[in-house]
Amino acid sequence: METITEKSAKKVNGFVVLFLVVALLALNIYLLSLVIKNEDPAFLWIFIPGMLLFFIMFGSFTVVQPNDSRVLVFFGKYIGTIRESGFWAVNPFTEKRKVSLRIHNFNSDKIKVNDLHGNPIEIAAVIVWRVVDSARAVFDVQNYEGFIAIQSETAIRGLSSEYAYDSSDETESLRGNQLAISENMKKQLQQRLQIAGVEVMESRITHLAYAPEIAQAMLRRQQATAVVAARAKIVEGAVGMVDMALKALSEQHIVTLDEDKKATMVNNLLVALVSETQAQPVINTGTLYQ
């Protein structure tokens, strides 16, 4: 495939050419008046080419707004792009294709895909892009806006299958590492859209959720995972506190405990620390002898 790169087109100030066109029109009107007054057809052979030249030159004008461009094609050959805003005159036989250089947003629809673990999820993203090479946008792809839409959705689907929706460990997930996921999505999109002369400025996930058919089940799973993690943290802290208490009692010689009493004490402390309800203290006043 022939690769075309943007280049600057030759152009002339449109107001200068407009002055010449108006002068040519005035000359044609004067010639027509001579033909009518003198009834001499000799001036008619000058008037007809003059009017033909007038209409041809009138078609050379184009207006370019800021952050806009015109891609010029002369009988199927690309001859350049006008990026400077203003009123310009170019070759009147060229085709002038408008390509916007402004920043655009592409909001994808909610796509139903499977994550790394095969769970169906719904995901949507917004892509911020702009055209940086108008020639490639026009000639290297059939329709660059449609190309961006299809490639963006393809990249979102591919990225979603590389990560899990959520993760309880340190691995990256769609929900827990959205900034890193957005940067990865931006890189993948830039690789896909570079052929169309498009620069991806930003990409972010705008919607992320489990599919409705598994949403309730996955919510219960997340709750159970959170409860287990919290319990593990509580037990870890309780074990540390019991160990610290036993060491303090032993080092300060407050009380001497045998193995059975240590086991009983550990059991009582763990129950008091781990229990969800507040422990009720039982005060031992000693043994009553008769």
Is pLDDT of 283 > 60? no
Render 103-138 in DSSP notation, one character per residue: -EEEEPPPEEEE-TTS-EEEEEEEEEEEES-HHHHH
Pair of tokens at residue 144:
């660059």
Counted residue by residue, the chain has a size of 290
CATH architecture of the region 104-210: 2-Layer Sandwich (3.30)
* Contact by Cβ (8 Å): 111, 157: yes
Nearest by Cα to 80 from 161, 159, 173, 4: 4
What is the average per-residue pLDDT within 215-228?
67
What is the average per-residue pLDDT within 103-114?
90
pLDDT for 236 equals 75
C-alpha separations of 23 from 20, 26, 27, 50, 54 in Å: 5, 5, 6, 11, 10
* Contact by Cβ (8 Å): 29, 10: no
Model pTM score: 0.68
Query: What would the pLDDT profile of 39-58 be if each residue is shown by its tens digit?
Result: 666 666 777 777 888 788 88
Report the distance separating Cα 43 and Cα 35, nearest Å: 6
Nearest by Cα to 99 from 76, 74, 112, 82: 82
Strand boundaries in the chain, DSSP class E:
12-13, 61-64, 68-74, 77-82, 86-89, 94-100, 104-107, 111-114, 120-131, 198-210
Nearest by Cα to 42 from 53, 31, 50, 54: 31
What is the average per-residue pLDDT within 216-226?
67
Q: What is the mean pLDDT of the chain?
A: 81
Is pLDDT of 282 > 90? no
What is the average per-residue pLDDT within 125-131?
94
* Contact by Cβ (8 Å): 146, 104: no
Q: Where are the domains of the chain?
A: 12-99, 104-210, 216-274
Render 180-212 in DSSP notation, one character per residue: HHHHHHHHHHHHHHGGGTEEEEEEEEEEEEE-H
Pair of tokens at residue 194:
């570079």
CA dihedral 220, 225, 230, 231 (to 10 degrees): 100
* Contact by Cβ (8 Å): 144, 13: no
Report the distance separating Cα 25 and Cα 31, nearest Å: 10
Report the distance separating Cα 201 and Cα 124, nearest Å: 17
